[in-house]
């Protein structure tokens, strides 16, 4: 055959011409037919009988017979007209293993393939030109191998010898297996017939641990002919996902093959021998490692029952099986089934082996772990301590088992809220692992992560962050970017950033971790579902409720299908979805899920388990939001008592329960009970967590809120300020919690009448939330409402209106027209329009808010009753007293029934109805209501509370209207003095009281007493609210009227002109 040139190859005296065009056509994916491989073996059987390795066959046979043409053996076969074609199987093997056995393993394809004549194998010793291979650089080799593997589509790996498979220790072989799985090619692991028989015999006959194979897989311990090749392979692997990813991929493929190999001899065993064989236990462990828990369970159960019957319940092997089955059941969430097995294994080992035997100590640890999962933390603690002391004494302080025990006890102490005790253990475990195992060992990185979690729980976010980052970087380098442990570290760092308020940084990490888990473990894997839940939590925190919901639902559905409806993780998903639905205002759907989660946890975990207590607390919170305070209270109380008993009075969760019950008491008007709870919670958190811990700052805020509700504004202010400063220092000025604190202080200052101080805080909070959370986030919309309310109080109605409108539109779009927050925004805008005299615009908003609240929350819900009251107020202002009266009466009756006669909201309704009746001239009906409201307020809130002072003013006004001036005067004076003392001389309410008393004195003809009061009220209003504020203009008008009555027309006239068209008020 003519070509661009030809070369002659000498082989046993024969001249063969090899065309270079033919050579190029078949390289590098040309393979040799099985028949030609068989021919090669037969032709050189004399040499192969000497046990030559593949390397020796290459040097002594392949190279000499291809030396003349300097070509590959495949090219030589092709030139002779032999069987060469595009390779269908890529063969990976170790060159130092015997060629004869390697070839025999490959030739098993002749009996396993349907069309063996169509099989062409790519074997490097034949397919690669051995005379020129040294001329190729590493990049060419690694690229060629990976591309060949991908294009061929199937890799056969010869695992020989079976007792110590060489390919698992060779870098090139590991890289080829990795390339196979990574490119989606099929993987076919094989032994020669002789090796397969020997392997099967060993599996049937003696102790064999599949993990002896798995443990060999570690690229960092692998070998290569050329040390430089090893370094280059390591680099190439790092660029393809990391050493850890390669190890994991290879181990996964190996486990699948081992499982199939193990089933064959197991099925062939006599039934009476299966259960007590080492094989059944090894195979069960292998299946458990693969996540095939159902298959593993049936084997573990068979092994345990067989050993009980054959060896006895106390035999060490029986106890081992007991422990193994218990561990599997625990992994499946079947804690009730696992517990008696762990107990029996522990008792048996204590009796048989002694309390200090390593297996006994292992049982103690395992049983303690189960109790911890069951929430029996008090029972678990002494066991963990016993295990730690035992391992220290038996194995030494630096032994890995001792360090594991240390870590376990630290985790338990963290769960108990004993963070101060846990920290030194975490630190000792970390230092011990660093010294013993090295800084990059997976256990060391786990310790790093655990210490970071603790520091995060302590609120030491700055200390935790570098540990999380070190753990993540270490795992990326050691295990690969896609390893589940690396993804867990990613998830943890994202959680920290979320706590720091760095939501934009956290989100891509959560997404990367979730995508990695989906790709690595599948959508249904429990860890994937956990990551889904975490991303959903972040999105919920960002106000992206629509994005969060499908993730929560997918996580719940996945857990139901994978783990069952009663599994603790499934119940946790139920709870999380319920929280989201509650945020969306879908209270009916949320309630069903909360109840299902609570019932499931009671049944599965017990009434005192921390998760059950969490469910109680959550359901109670929902019921509280629905206005079902009577149903909520016993749940809050049960949760608090359970946490006190289970976790201790100072545990953060117990203190949280105190806060929750206290918030309910506020709504019920039980303020005296609340203060004790809040103060106890604050002191407990200060002592336990420190003054700057986020939970301590939460308690500070709660107590401040209560003091504000009690009218103790002066006491509340320093708490709000301390809280804000603490959050600024701890979390930064832009953190969502800092912005919440800003908002809260601004609300207080507004109530104190310090509108100038409140405004910049409201504006900062709004700007921060817009930047951090976006303009449509519910918290941003709340800030809009709050700033608008302040501007309204300042008389800046034109500035307030667009903010109210934007808040309402945003809430409609984000949360829906019927969401409680949307209905609240409707009420706010309607109130502003009412204040502007735009009654016709306000009325439909008030009506829509009322109807929405009736439909969503029910006619008796406190918010519905508040909407009723608001619409009644508008109708009253329109002079539609007949329409307003039944609404006021319904609101009053509803509040009496729902909240009690002494509740501040009920007392407010009394005042409102009395005001309407007074306006209708029904003074006799109005007076007892005013008196009841005043007495109730004195008893409930105290004589100096702003609401009590307002009631005094109202009753005094009625008495004044009845001509009972002598009765009215002391009430007006008490109201004024109380307001001066409580709120300050310049507070708008104090100024209103001044006007009221001055008006009475004017009516009594005591003009000289009235004048200084009118003047003080006017000056205060000018200074506080501005010269053009409606209240300032009203004060002007009042003083002008008095001066006119005194005949001081020169002074009165300019005041009248300034306040033109303003109606006098009292």
User: Tens digits of per-residue pLDDT, 663-706?
Assistant: 888 877 777 777 888 888 888 888 877 888 888 888 899 889 88
What is the radius of gyration, based on Cα positions, of the chain? 40
Question: The CATH number of 985-1066 is which of 1.20.5.510, 1.25.40.10, 3.40.50.12780, 2.30.110.10?
Answer: 1.25.40.10
DSSP per position, 177-222: HHHHHHTT-EEEEE--HHHHHHHHHHHHHS---THHHHTT--GGG-
Q: Residue 681 — left, alpha, or beta (φ > 0 → left; ψ -120 to 50 → alpha)? A: alpha
Q: In whole angstroms, how far apart are CA 243 and each of 93, 169, 433, 514, 833?
A: 20, 14, 21, 21, 67
Whole-number pLDDT of residue 985? 86
**Alpha carbon distance 834, 991 (integer Å):** 23
Q: Are 149 and 176 in contact (CB under 8 A)?
A: yes
**DSSP readout, 556-603?**
HHHHHHHH-TTSHHHHHHHHHHHHHHHHTT-HHHHHHHHHHHHHHHHH
Q: Which pLDDT belongs to residue 855?
A: 87
Instruction: Rank 190-204, 220-234, 888-902 by mean pLDDT and report only the highest.
Output: 888-902
**Average pLDDT for residues 848-866, to the nearest whole number?**
88
pLDDT given at position 541? 81
The predicted pLDDT at position 241 comes to 64
Q: pLDDT at position 932, please?
A: 92
The pLDDT value recorded for residue 1052 is: 79
Rounded to 10 degrees, what is the CA torsion of 335, 340, 345, 347? 130
Report the b/e string of 590-609 with b at 16+ CB within 10 A: bbebbebbbebbeebbbebb
346-401 tens-digit pLDDT: 999 999 899 889 999 999 999 999 998 888 888 999 999 999 999 999 899 989 99
Structure-token pair, residue 685: 């958190």
Question: Per-residue pLDDT tens for 47-76?
Answer: 888 989 999 999 999 999 999 888 999 999
- Please give the mean pLDDT across all residues of the chain: 85
What pLDDT band is residue 204 in, cutting at 50, 70 and 90? confident
Stretch among 160-174, 178-192, 271-285 having the lowest mean pLDDT: 160-174
- Residue 27 clears pLDDT 70, i.e. is over it: no
Binned at pLDDT 50, 70 and 90, residue 206 comes out as low
Other beta carbons less than 10 A from residue 922's beta carbon: 14
Query: HEC string of 1010-1061?
Result: HHHHHHHHHHHHHHHHCCCCHHHHHHHHHHHHHHHHCCCHHHHHHHHHHCCC
SS3 492: helix
pLDDT at 230 > cutoff 80: no
**Domain locations in the chain as residue ranges:** 6-135, 825-894, 901-981, 985-1066
Residue 28 preceded by cis peptide, ω within 30: yes
Does this model's pTM top 0.75?
A: no
Residues 984-995, mean pLDDT to the nearest whole number: 88
Preceding peptide of 161 cis, ω within 30°: yes
| pLDDT at residue 871 in the model | 93
If we measure between CA atoms, which residue out of 391, 390, 386 comes closest to residue 401?
Answer: 391
CATH number of the 825-894 domain = 1.25.40.10
Q: Look at strands 14-19 and 6-11 and give their pairing.
A: antiparallel
Per-residue pLDDT tens digits for 427-441: 999 999 999 899 988
Please give the structure tokens belonging to residue 621: 């919170």
Domains 901-981 and 985-1066 share a fold: yes
Note the pLDDT of residue 945. 84
Q: Among 107-111, 494-498, 499-503, 755-759, which is the least confidently predicted range?
A: 499-503
Predicted confidence (pLDDT) per residue in 594-636, tens digit: 999 999 999 888 888 888 999 999 999 999 888 888 899 999 9
Hey, which of 10-19, 203-212, 833-842 has the most confident mean pLDDT? 833-842
Task: Name the token pair of 9.
Answer: 């190859």
Residue with tokens 């929350």, as numbered in its chain:
857
∠ CA 666-667-672, rounded to 5°: 30
SS3 31: strand
Token pair of 529 as six digits: 């579902």
Note the pLDDT of residue 1062.
42
The predicted pLDDT at position 761 comes to 94
Q: Which tokens belong to 240?
A: 């393809």
What is the spatial distance between Cα 476 and Cα 486, in angstroms, rounded to a whole number? Answer: 6
The confidence score (pLDDT) of residue 242 equals 63
Q: Which residues of 61-94 are buried (b: 16+ CB within 10 A; e: fewer)?
A: bbeebbebbebbbbbbbbbeeebbbebbbbbbbb
Q: How far apart are CA 177 and CA 535, in angstroms?
A: 34
The token pair at 137 is: 């650089």
Q: Is residue 925 a contact partner of residue 917, using CB atoms and an 8 Å limit?
A: yes
* pLDDT tens string 517-551: 887 777 887 788 889 989 999 998 877 888 999 99
pLDDT for position 1? 26
For residue 511, the model assigns a pLDDT of: 94
pLDDT at residue number 514: 92
Specify the DSSP element, H or E, that contains 155: strand 154-158
pLDDT at 18 over 60: no
* pLDDT the model gives residue 186: 87
Average pLDDT (317-334) is 90
pLDDT in tens, 903-937: 888 999 999 999 999 989 899 999 999 999 999 98
Angle at 437 between CA 435 and CA 443, to 5 degrees: 115
Q: What is the 3-state secondary structure (H, E, C) of 729-777?
A: HHHCCCCHHHHHHHHHHHHHHHHCCCHHHHHHHHHHHHHHHHHHHCCCC
Q: For 631-659, write each residue's pLDDT tens digit.
A: 999 999 999 999 888 778 777 788 788 88
Tokens of 328: 């599997």
% helix / strand / coil in the chain, to the nearest 5? 75, 5, 20
Average pLDDT over residues 325-341: 89
Range with lowest mean pLDDT among 138-142, 816-820, 993-997: 138-142
- pLDDT greater than 60 at residue 26: no
Distance, CA of 1024 to CA of 55 (rounded, Å):
97
Weakest mean pLDDT among 22-36, 221-235, 815-829, 833-847: 22-36
**Residue from 1043, 1046, 1021 nearest 1034 by CA:** 1021
One DSSP character per residue, 88-111 reads SEEEE--TTSBHHHHHHHHHTHHH
Dihedral, CA of residue 9, residue 14, residue 19 and residue 25, to nearest 10 = -90
> Tens digits of per-residue pLDDT, 446-471?
999 999 999 988 878 889 999 999 99
CATH number of 901-981: 1.25.40.10
Phi, psi for 423 (deg, rounded to 5):
-55, -50
pLDDT at residue 96, as a whole number = 83
Is residue 12 pLDDT above 60, yes or no? Answer: no
Higher pLDDT, 617 or 278: 617
DSSP assigned state of 1063: P
Task: Choose among 906, 980, 894: nearest CA to 937.
Answer: 906
User: Residue 732 above 60 pLDDT?
Assistant: yes
Note the pLDDT tens digit of each residue in 747-797.
999 888 788 899 999 999 999 999 888 888 888 999 999 999 999 888 788
Q: Above 80 in pLDDT, residue 225?
A: no
For the segment 804-820, the average pLDDT, to the nearest whole number, is 88
What is the predicted pLDDT for the residue at 15?
42
Average pLDDT for 5-11: 32
């Amino acid at each position: 055959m003519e070509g661009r040139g030809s070369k002659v190859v000498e082989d046993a005296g024969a001249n063969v011409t090899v065309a270079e065009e033919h050579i190029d056509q078949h390289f590098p994916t040309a393979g040799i037919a099985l028949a030609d491989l068989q021919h090669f073996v037969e032709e050189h059987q004399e040499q192969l009988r000497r046990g030559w390795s593949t390397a020796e066959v290459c040097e002594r046979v392949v190279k000499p017979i291809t030396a003349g043409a300097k070509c590959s053996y495949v090219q030589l076969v092709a030139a002779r007209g032999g069987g060469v074609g595009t390779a269908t199987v890529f063969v990976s093997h170790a060159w130092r293993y015997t060629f004869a056995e390697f070839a025999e393993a490959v030739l098993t394809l002749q009996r396993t393939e349907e069309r063996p004549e169509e099989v062409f194998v790519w074997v490097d010793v034949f397919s690669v030109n051995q005379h020129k291979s040294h001329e190729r650089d590493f990049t060419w080799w690694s690229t060629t191998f990976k591309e060949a593997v991908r294009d061929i589509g199937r890799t056969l790996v010869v695992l020989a010898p079976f007792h110590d498979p060489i390919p698992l220790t060779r870098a090139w072989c590991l890289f080829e297996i990795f390339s196979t799985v990574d490119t989606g090619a099929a993987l076919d692991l094989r032994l020669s017939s002789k090796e397969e028989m020997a392997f099967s015999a060993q599996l049937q006959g003696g102790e064999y641990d599949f993990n002896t194979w798995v443990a060999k897989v570690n690229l960092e311990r692998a070998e290569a002919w050329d040390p430089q090749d090893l370094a280059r392979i390591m680099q190439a692997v790092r660029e393809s996902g990391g050493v850890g990813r390669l190890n994991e991929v290879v181990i996964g493929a190996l486990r699948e093959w081992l499982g199939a190999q193990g089933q064959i001899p197991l099925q062939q065993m006599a039934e009476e021998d299966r259960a007590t064989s080492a094989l059944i236990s090894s195979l069960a462990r292998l299946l458990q490692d693969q996540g095939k828990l159902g298959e593993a369970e049936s084997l573990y159960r068979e092994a345990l029952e067989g050993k009980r019957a054959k060896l006895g319940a106390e035999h060490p092997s029986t106890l081992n099986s007991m422990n193994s089955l218990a561990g599997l059941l625990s992994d499946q969430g079947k804690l009730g089934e696992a517990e008696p097995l762990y107990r029996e294994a522990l008792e048996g080992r204590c009796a048989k082996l002694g309390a200090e035997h390593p297996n006994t100590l292992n049982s103690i640890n395992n049983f303690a772990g189960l109790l911890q999962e069951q929430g029996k933390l008090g029972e678990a603690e002494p066991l963990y301590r016993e295990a730690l002391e035992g391992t220290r004494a038996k194995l030494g302080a630096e032994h890995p088992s001792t360090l594991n025990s240390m870590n376990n006890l630290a985790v338990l102490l963290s769960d108990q809220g004993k963070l101060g005790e846990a920290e030194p253990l975490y630190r000792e475990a970390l230092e011990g692992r660093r010294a013993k195992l090295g800084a990059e060992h997976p256990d060391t990185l786990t310790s790093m992560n655990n210490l970071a979690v603790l520091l995060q729980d302590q609120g030491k976010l700055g200390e935790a962050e570098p540990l999380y980052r070190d753990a993540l970087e270490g795992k990326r380098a050691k295990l690969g970017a896609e390893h589940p442990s690396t993804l867990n570290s990613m998830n943890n760092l994202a959680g920290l950033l979320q706590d720091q308020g760095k939501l934009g940084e956290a989100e891509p990490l959560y997404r990367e971790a979730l995508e990695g888990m989906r790709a690595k473990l599948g959508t249904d894997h429990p860890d994937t579902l956990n990551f889904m839940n975490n991303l959903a939590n972040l999105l919920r925190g960002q106000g992206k409720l629509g994005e969060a919901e499908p993730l929560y639902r997918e996580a719940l559905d996945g857990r139901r299908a994978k783990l069952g409806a009663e599994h603790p993780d499934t119940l946790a998903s139920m709870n999380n979805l319920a929280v989201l639905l509650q945020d969306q205002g879908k209270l009916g759907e949320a309630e069903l899920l909360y109840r299902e989660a609570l019932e499931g946890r009671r049944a599965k975990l017990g009434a005192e388990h921390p998760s059950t207590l969490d469910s109680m607390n959550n359901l109670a919170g929902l019921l509280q939001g629905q206005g079902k305070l009577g149903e909520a209270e016993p749940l809050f109380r049960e949760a608090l008592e359970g946490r006190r008993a289970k976790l201790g009075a100072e545990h953060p969760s117990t203190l949280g329960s105190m806060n929750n019950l206290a918030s309910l008491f506020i709504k019920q008007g039980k303020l005296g009970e609340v203060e004790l709870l809040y103060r106890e919670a604050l002191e407990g958190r200060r002592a336990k967590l420190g003054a700057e811990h986020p939970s301590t700052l939460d308690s500070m805020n709660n107590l401040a809120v209560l003091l504000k509700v009690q009218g103790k504004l002066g006491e509340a202010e320093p708490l709000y300020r301390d809280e804000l400063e603490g959050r600024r220092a701890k979390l930064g000025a832009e953190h969502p919690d800092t912005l919440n604190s800003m908002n809260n202080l601004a609300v207080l200052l507004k109530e104190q009448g310090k509108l100038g101080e409140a405004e910049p805080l409201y504006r900062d909070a709004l700007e921060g939330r817009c930047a951090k959370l976006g303009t449509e986030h519910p918290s941003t919309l709340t800030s809009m409402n709050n700033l608008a309310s302040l501007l309204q109080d300042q008389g800046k109605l034109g500035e307030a209106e667009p903010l109210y409108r934007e808040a309402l539109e945003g809430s409609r779009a984000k949360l829906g027209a019927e969401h409680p927050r949307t209905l609240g925004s409707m009420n706010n805008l309607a109130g502003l329009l009412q204040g502007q005299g735009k009654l016709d615009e306000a009325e439909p908003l008030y009506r829509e808010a009322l109807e929405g609240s009736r439909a969503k929350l029910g006619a008796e819900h406190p918010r519905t009753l508040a909407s009723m009251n608001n619409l009644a107020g508008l109708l009253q202002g329109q002079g539609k007293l007949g329409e307003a009266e039944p609404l006021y009466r319904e609101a009053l009756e509803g509040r009496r029934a729902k909240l009690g006669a002494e509740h501040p909201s009920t007392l407010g309704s009394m005042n409102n109805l009395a005001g309407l009746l007074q306006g209708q001239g029904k003074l006799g009906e109005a007076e007892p209501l005013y008196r009841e409201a005043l007495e109730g307020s004195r008893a409930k809130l105290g004589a100096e509370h702003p609401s009590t002072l307002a009631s005094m003013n109202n009753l005094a006004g009625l008495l004044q209207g009845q001509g009972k001036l002598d009765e009215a005067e002391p009430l007006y004076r008490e109201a004024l003095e109380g307001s001066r003392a409580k709120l300050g001389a310049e507070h708008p309410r104090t100024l209103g009281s001044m006007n009221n008393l001055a008006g009475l004195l004017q009516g009594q003809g005591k003009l000289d007493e009235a004048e200084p009061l009118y003047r003080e009220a006017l000056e205060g209003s000018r200074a506080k609210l501005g010269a053009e504020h409606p209240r300032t203009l009203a004060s002007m008008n009042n003083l002008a009227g008095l001066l006119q009555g005194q005949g001081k027309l020169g002074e009165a006239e300019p005041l009248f002109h300034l306040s033109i068209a303003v109606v006098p008020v009292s």
